[in-house]
A = this chain, B = another copy of it.
Amino acid sequence: MILTVKTRVKTEFVDITSEVNRLLASTGSVVDGLCFLYVPHTTAAVTINESADPSVRKDILKVLNDIVPWEAGYRHLEGNSPAHIKSTLVGASEWIAVENNRLVLGTWQGLFFCEFDGPRNRKVHVRVVPG
């Protein structure tokens, strides 16, 4: 299954928890298992963090943007090396348990698509493995 994500600015965290749950509900067949979420892009990532207070994702993004300098004599001429670096720091995939076609997240957890070189039309590959 593929989820599409439309990002609006250069860097942002988009909460995709509801969309993934909707996708899992639409399959109807899996009850228990593990959900694999994979970003096929090299300037984006996925992460799990607090969804209750939107300030948290802004603080995370701010520090990521502070840690990785926008200018540093980069060799890659496209100008988006900072996005590639953040992608490797955060990671291209996540795994989350699924029960009754819903993600089993902790109380405060949500699932976020991390855009580091937007705005763009992005994809997240979603698979469920039984077990």
Contact = CB atoms under 8 A, between A and B. Distances in A.
- The complex is assembled from copies of this chain, and their number is 3
Nearest to A75: B55
Interface residues of A, number: 56
B94 A93 contact: yes
B91 A91 contact: yes
B66 A106 contact: no
Interface of A is mostly: mixed
Contacts of A64: 85
Contacts of A106: 39-42
Contacts of A14: none
Interface in A68-114: 68-69, 72, 74-78, 81, 84-85, 87-97, 104-109
A120 interface: no
A97 to B, nearest CB: 7
